[in-house]
């Protein structure tokens, strides 16, 4: 009798009753499943633009505001956050030019890793494009989040820094992302929890995002999503301050 069988006998168990380690599904399978459970490729392909509106809350500071984001195929975006006592914070991307403007730091054109990260986030219907956006994807384990077992998937972008996403084993929905945010002030770890999924025009999307960054908790609640809407003329055009920076950069060349 081998030591393995001896131990089983001492415990009053047959050797075949030991639980076998369950093989992890491939990351490719998990990511493709996410597309399917949120609506399917055909539903995503029908979407050419989107307008999100909602609220934003900075818990520690007791600040609240409004959130609006316009986005369109293939990677056009413009978002506005207006917070009481802070002012208007804007960012966007148009024809590959990514930028932001806020009352504290002024206008800025994004470059390098910061730009690469923003372009990745602005890619419209991004769940469909995970193959183009990443050079490598890998399932590395499981973790229980809010009582649900989740697969842990590490995505390594073709550009930008790696991020880890967590997909519920049962539903296939993404519920958590851990990443590194790159900004003018450096790099900082961020954790984002996604919840309260709802069907918006054929696509299931989360309506609540709880973001933990640099000791702060920011909650974004999405109240409405409209797709395939007429966009205001020049909606994605950079503001005059950004155009001025682009002109100065062109003059220096």
Please report whether residue 174 resides in a domain.
yes
| Per-residue buried b or exposed e for 47-72, using 16+ beta carbons within 10 Å of the residue's own CB | bebbbbebebbeeeeeeebebebbbb
pLDDT band at 21 (very low <50, low <70, confident <90, very high): low
* Whether the predicted pLDDT of 61 surpasses 50: yes
* Whether the predicted pLDDT of 6 surpasses 90: no
Q: Is 44 left (phi over 0), alpha (psi -120 to 50) or beta?
A: alpha
13 CB burial (10 A radius; 0-12, 13-18, 19+): exposed
* Whether the predicted pLDDT of 150 surpasses 60: yes
CA 155 to chain centre: 12
Domain that holds residue 113: 24-229
What's the average model confidence in pLDDT over 13-33? 74
- Residue 40 has, within 13 A of its CA and on its CB side, a CA count of 3
Task: Name the percent of the chain lying above pLDDT 70.
Answer: 91
Please report whether residue 91 resides in a domain.
yes
Please report whether residue 32 resides in a domain.
yes
Please report whether residue 137 resides in a domain.
yes
Please report whether residue 253 resides in a domain.
no
The residue that leads in pLDDT, 248 or 135, is: 135
What's the average model confidence in pLDDT over 215-240? 94
Residue 235 near residue 55 (C-beta atoms within 8 A): no
CATH number at residue 63: 2.50.20.10
pLDDT of residue 60: 85
Please report whether residue 17 resides in a domain.
no
pLDDT band at 14 (very low <50, low <70, confident <90, very high): very low
Q: How many domains does the chain have?
A: 1
Please report whether residue 9 resides in a domain.
no
Please report whether residue 58 resides in a domain.
yes
* Whether the predicted pLDDT of 38 surpasses 70: yes
**Verdict on whether the full-model pTM lies above 0.95:** no
């Amino acid at each position: 009798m081998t030591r393995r069988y001896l131990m089983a006998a001492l415990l009053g168990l047959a050797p075949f009753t030991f639980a076998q380690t369950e093989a992890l599904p491939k990351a490719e399978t998990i990511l493709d499943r996410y597309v399917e459970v949120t609506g399917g490729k055909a539903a995503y392909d029908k979407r050419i633009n989107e307008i999100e509106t909602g609220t934003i809350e900075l818990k520690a500071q007791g600040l609240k505001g409004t959130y609006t984001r316009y986005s369109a195929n293939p990677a056009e975006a413009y978002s506005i956050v207006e917070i009481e006592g802070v002012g208007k914070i804007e960012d966007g991307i148009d024809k590959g030019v990514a930028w932001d403007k806020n009352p504290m730091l002024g206008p800025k054109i994004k470059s390098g890793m910061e730009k690469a990260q923003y372009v990745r986030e602005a890619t419209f219907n991004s769940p469909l494009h995970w193959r183009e956006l990443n050079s490598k994807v890998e399932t590395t384990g499981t973790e229980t989040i809010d009582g649900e077992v989740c697969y842990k998937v590490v995505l390594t972008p073709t550009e930008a820094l790696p991020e880890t996403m967590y997909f519920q084993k049962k539903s296939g929905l993404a519920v958590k992302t851990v990443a590194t945010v790159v900004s003018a002030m450096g790099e900082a770890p961020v954790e984002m929890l996604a919840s309260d999924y709802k069907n918006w025009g054929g696509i299931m999307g989360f309506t609540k995002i709880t973001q933990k960054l640099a000791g702060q908790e920011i909650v974004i609640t999405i109240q409405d999503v409209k797709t395939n809407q007429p966009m205001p003329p020049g909606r994605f055009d950079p503001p005059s301050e950004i155009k001025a920076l682009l002109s100065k950069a062109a003059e220096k060349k």
